[in-house]
Amino acid sequence: MGNKIKVFTNGIIRENPVLVLILGTCPVLATSTQVSSAVGMGAAATAVLLCSNIFISLLRKVIPDKVRIPCYIVLIASFVTIVQMLLNAYAYSIYDALGIFLPLIVVNCIILGRAEMFASKNTVVDSALDALGMGLGFTMALFVMASIREAFGSGTWMGMPLPVLADNPVAIMTMAPGGFFVFGCLIAFVNKFGKYKPRKKSFECESCPSATFCTMVGFGDCQERPKEEA
């Protein structure tokens, strides 16, 4: 039982996909302008992650090793399409706010990364817990970042006007530069006060969406290539 809890909490704090593993940067920067769209993005990605982790774990003994990445991508893309259609039908405002970043969940490194690193090796229950933990960690990081950006940028929180801040909005926070800036400061904050030492300080191969099938993993900088290639 303790083991199961550890699998679940792993993604929320110690291996937070956004602030510690630095995965899925594009949606984090793009959808954190408002708390509501950030939560929508988090929920959509969690739903896709949960479904893909469960199914990949179920099929892990059936999928041949050599074609596993294309299989995972097709599975993930199908779940993304389902989520896209559901949001379009029942939550159009979120569908509209997320825009192009909704289909782009397919290429979100967190989902492919968890499929390859966790779901393909573990049982269904563990994979589902891992997906929930990682999804919650992703949503929480997005929520914190969106709260900061919306509070300072528009002077509101979840659409509610805040005292003082509403009179002095710093519009740049909701624009592109504010996204980079807040994200940089949040990672610096985690580096400084994080209970767990961050595993790495720069952007290396593990953060790359292609790391799972790249021939140059661990060689860094995408330039040094192992001499021998089949």
Partner 1 sequence: MKEMIVIILTAVFVNNYVLQQFLGICPFLGVSKKIGPATGMSAAVVFVMILATAVTWPIQTFILEPAGMGYMQTVVFILLIASVVQLVEITLKRYMPSLHSALGVYLPLITTNCAVLAVCISNIDTGFTFLEAIFNALGSGLGFFLAMILFAGIRSRIEECDPPESFKGLPITLVSAAILSLSFFGFAGVIENLFA
Interacting residues toward partner 1 by CB under 8 A: 22, 25-26, 29-30, 70, 73-74, 77-78, 80-81, 84-85, 100, 103-104, 106-109, 112, 172, 175-181, 183-185, 187-189, 191-192, 200-205, 207-210, 213-216, 221-223, 225
CA distance 173 to 188: 18
Q: What's the min distance (Å) between Cβ of 31 and partner 1? A: 9
Q: Report the amino acid identity of residue 203.
A: F
CA distance 122 to 6: 14
Residue 7 or 80 having the CB closest to partner 1: 80
SS3 content of the chain, % helix, strand, coil (to 5): 65, 0, 30
| Strand stretches in 155-224, DSSP E | 156-157, 160-161
Half-sphere exposure of 151 (CA within 13 A, CB side): 10
Q: What's the min distance (Å) between Cβ of 84 and partner 1? A: 7
CA distance 193 to 185: 12
Q: What's the min distance (Å) between Cβ of 66 and partner 1? A: 13
Residue 192 or 195 having the CB closest to partner 1: 192
Q: What's the min distance (Å) between Cβ of 6 and partner 1? A: 27
CA distance 21 to 138: 11
Burial of 79 (0-12, 13-18, 19+ CB in 10 A): buried
Q: What's the min distance (Å) between Cβ of 185 and partner 1? A: 7
